[in-house]
Structure 1
Amino acid sequence: MTTRKERLQKLVRVQNQLKAMHETRHAGFLAEAAAAENEAAELAGRFDAEDSLSSIFPEIYHQRIDKARARQVEQQQLARDEAGKVATATARTNMVERAYREARMWDERLTADRERLDMVERKASEDR
C-alpha cells in the first residue's frame, strides 16, 4: 500500500505536467495570434503595392485580411482562456506541493521519533 507522501509526490508530478501543458498551449495560441497579425499586415501592405492585383480583386484581399484579423482575435481569446487555466494549475500545483512537503516532514518526524525510541529501548535493554 502506498503512503500519503508517495501519492502526493505522484500528484505533484502530474500537476506539474498539466501546468506545463497549459503553458505550452498558451504559448502556441500567442504564436498563432502573432502569425495571424503578421499575415493581416502583410496582406494590407501588398494591397497598397503597385504590382498588386488588389485593383482587380479587392474583395478577396479584404476577405483574407478580415479572416486573418478574426483568427488573431480568436487566438488571443484562446490564449487568455489558457492563461486562466495556467493560473488555476499553478494554484493547484502549489497546494499539492505544500501538502506533499507537510506529509514529507511528518514522515521524517515519525521516522526520527522511531529511531529515538529504538535507541532508548536498546539502551534500556543494555542496562539490564
Structure 2
Amino acid sequence: MTTRKERLRKLVKLQDQLKAVHETRHAGFLAESIAAGNEAAELAGRFDKEGSMSALFPEIYHDRIGRALAQQQASERMARDEAEKLAAATARTNMVERAYRDAVRKHDRDTADRERLEMIERKTIAGEGR
C-alpha cells in the first residue's frame, strides 16, 4: 500500500513532465511563428528587387506571402493557447508540490513522535525491570 507522500511524489514528477511538454510545445509554436514571419518578410523584400520573378508571377508571390502570414498568426494563436495550458500546469504543479511538502513534514513529525514514544516505553520498561 502506497502512502500519501509516495503518491504525491509521483504526482509531482508527472506534473513536472506535463509542464515540460507544454513549455516545449509553446517554444515550438513561437519558433514556427518567427520562421513564418521571416519567410513573409523575405518574400516581400524579394518582391521589389530588380530581376525578381515577381513581375512575371505576382499572384504566386502574394499567395505565398499571404500563406506565410496566415501561418504566423495561427502559430501565435497556438502559442498563446499553449501558454495558457502552461500557466495552468504550473499552478497545478505548485499546488501538488505544496501538498507533497506538507505530507513530508507530517510524515517526519509522525516518525519523530513514534521514536519519542518508543524511547519513553523503553525507559519505562527499563525502570520497571530494576
Could you state the TM-score of these two structures normalised by the residue count of structure 2? 0.98
Looking at structure 2, the residues matched to 63 and 15 of structure 1 have their Cα atoms a distance apart, in angstroms, of: 43
Please give the secondary structure, in 1, of the residue aligned with 2:109. Answer: helix
Aligned ranges for residues 45-124 of structure 1 at < 5 Å? Answer: 45-124=45-124
Figure out how many residues of one structure are paired with residues of the other and give that number: 128
Which structure 1 residue ranges, 5 or more long, are not aligned?
none
Deviations 1:24-82 (A, max 9, x none): 00000000000000000000011011010011000000000000000000000000000
Looking at structure 1, the residues matched to 102 and 53 of structure 2 have their Cα atoms a distance apart, in angstroms, of: 68
Offset at residue 114 of structure 1 (A): 0.2
Could you state the TM-score of these two structures normalised by the residue count of structure 1? 0.99
RMSD (Å) for aligned C-alpha atoms = 0.4
Q: Percent identity?
A: 68
Which structure 2 residue ranges, 5 or more long, are not aligned?
none
